[in-house]
Structure 1
Amino acid sequence: MKILIILTLIIGINSCSAQSEYEEKLIGKWILINETSNWDESIEPLEEINPESVSDSITEPKEKLKEELITTLAFNKDKTIHVNQMGNKFNSIYKVTDSIMFIGSREYIIVEIDENKLIFKDKDGLFDKHYEYKRDE
């Protein structure tokens, strides 16, 4: 019985440290660089929008235009997240359990995360959409 309790504690401590490791790696600002769906191989993945290629005839300053044409996620230590999705900005909360990331009421599976790359996908999405982000310097 004592062995069972000790094993349960060890497994619990290891899973807690893995969860906090994911959360620690998430902290910071991330920029969307690729978004793909695996539902049809004949369709090319969406390309990163290059704000420099937008016509100069637009009267808005280029820096403001760059901010509006990209999608960013800013994960904070207090478990809040700021999302800028091509100019649509909102705040929410996030939570990480094992490799499942909850942003608001949506669920995602973390496929890969390291210092500079974050890839996650819709948990129950119809088209198995993957999102690839790079850390903003």
Structure 2
Amino acid sequence: MRIVSLLFLVFFINSAISQTDFNEKIIGTWQFDTVVGDISNAEKDTLMSTDVLLTFREDDSLIMEVGDFALVVTYELDDTLLIIGKNQYIITKIEDDTMSFEHNADGISLRYTYKRKPRDE
């Protein structure tokens, strides 16, 4: 019984740490890099444009910039689930300079990759 309790505790702590990591690692500005999947039948997603910049801020606001147009919205991050408006994305990776997430809609699965922009650009 102690082993089961210990394993549960280790799993719980690890889950809490990974959630905190995504909450901290997502902060910053990200530029669209690639999308993988069959986009021919996919509904057009504003996150799928080469000139999109996403700036995640600590106050759970997100600045979405496309050219000279900017829109500020709120986002929610619950473990790996990223919610922007009515869209839900599953974050699969956030490393130093790369963020990947998936979006499934109408049976179509798309995987987005964004690159972190350096602060001085």
Say yes or no: TM over 0.5: yes
- Distance in 2 (alpha carbons) for counterparts of 1:126 and 1:2: 43
Q: What residue number does 1:119 align with?
A: 100
Shift of 1:113: 1.5
Q: Which amino acid aligns with 2:24?
A: E
Structure 2 residue corresponding to 1:77, chosen from 58, 62, 67 = 58
Q: Over alpha carbons, which structure has the higher Rg? A: 1
- Distance in 2 (alpha carbons) for counterparts of 1:98 and 1:120: 13
* Equivalent residues of 2:81, 2:90 under 8 A apart: yes
Q: 1:86 to 1:119 in 2, by over 3 A?
A: farther
- Distance in 2 (alpha carbons) for counterparts of 1:117 and 1:133: 6
Q: Which amino acid aligns with 2:62?
A: I
Of Structure 1 and Structure 2, the greater strand share is in 2
Q: Which amino acid aligns with 1:115?
A: D
RMSD after superposition: 2.6
In the alignment, structure 2 segments of 5+ residues that lack a partner are 41-48
* Equivalent residues of 2:104, 2:110 under 8 A apart: no
Per-residue CA shift, 1:20-50, capped at 9, x if unaligned?
101111110000011232367xxxxxxx85x
Q: Name the TM-score, length of structure 1 as normaliser.
A: 0.64
Q: What residue number does 2:78 align with?
A: 97
* Equivalent residues of 2:35, 2:111 under 8 A apart: yes
How many percent of aligned residue pairs carry the same amino acid? 26
- Distance in 1 (alpha carbons) for counterparts of 2:100 and 2:106: 15
Q: Secondary structure at the match of 1:33?
A: strand
Shift of 1:73: 0.4
Of Structure 1 and Structure 2, the greater helix share is in 1
In the alignment, structure 1 segments of 5+ residues that lack a partner are 41-47, 50-69
Q: What residue number does 1:67 align with?
A: none
Residue 17 in structure 1 maps to residue 9 in structure 2: no
